[in-house]
């Protein structure tokens, strides 16, 4: 199983801590079945960390007319809203909530060019909080396709997630289905789409990044 590069340091540090604690407990606790139980718990915890940083093989959907899910998760918001940071007008917001068990990489939803990127430090409200989109730690990315249509993608940290990674830079080209970022441990992705977009996804749909169609231009 392939692992995301963002997990390398976390996995190494976690392994060292778990092994160190087990060695210490083994020397302090004379009852071996307790030590064995703790060792099993340590292995399960380490397995969950490995699982979190997994990168399953995928063949991305490539279609210039489609807006593909930028992440795994569940669709929790579909509504018309005012987008205040970049567009400063009304857009259709589609939000995807990622639980700690989802794959936490992000993929470009369309082909095009990165017109805007900005990182915002912030709070760590739970990812489904209505104000998390504007108050939490987040990164905003705007992509323009060859027809001049723009969409905004926002990575949002949650109560558990404490680090957002974005590989994008303003002015560079991007390819639909190519990885552009990673959020560590539970979070949300917001899409802000043109009002004339045809929304294909529905509330509570479980989607897969780079594979599931969210909308069409």
Residues annotated as part of the active site = 187
Distance separating alpha carbons of residues 103 and 136, to the nearest angstrom: 21
Helical segments of 29-130, H only:
32-52
Work out the widest C-alpha separation in the chain, in whole angstroms: 70
How is residue 206 written in tokens? 């479980």
The Cα–Cα gap between 129 and 121 comes to: 17
The residues facing 138 across adjacent strands are 120, 156
Helices (H) and strands (E) in the chain, counts: 3, 14
């Amino acid at each position: 199983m392939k692992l995301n590069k963002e997990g390398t340091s976390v996995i190494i540090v976690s392994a060292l801590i778990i092994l160190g604690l087990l060695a210490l407990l083994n020397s302090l606790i004379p009852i071996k079945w307790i030590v064995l139980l703790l060792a099993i718990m340590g292995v399960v915890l380490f397995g969950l960390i490995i699982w979190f940083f997994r990168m399953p093989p995928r063949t991305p959907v490539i279609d210039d007319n489609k807006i593909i899910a930028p992440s795994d998760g569940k669709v929790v918001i579909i509504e018309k809203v005012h987008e205040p940071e970049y567009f400063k007008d009304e857009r259709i917001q589609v939000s995807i909530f990622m639980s700690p068990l989802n794959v936490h990489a992000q993929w470009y939803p369309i082909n095009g060019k990165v017109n805007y990127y900005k990182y915002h430090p912030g709070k760590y409200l739970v990812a489904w909080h209505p104000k998390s989109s504007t108050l939490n730690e987040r990164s905003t990315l705007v992509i323009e396709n060859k027809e001049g249509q723009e969409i905004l993608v926002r990575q949002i940290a949650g109560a558990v997630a404490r680090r957002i990674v974005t590989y994008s830079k303003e002015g560079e080209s991007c390819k639909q289905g190519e990885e552009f970022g990673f959020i560590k441990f539970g979070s949300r992705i917001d899409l802000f789409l043109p009002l004339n977009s045809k929304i294909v996804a529905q509330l509570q749909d479980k989607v897969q990044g780079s594979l599931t169609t969210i909308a069409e231009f």
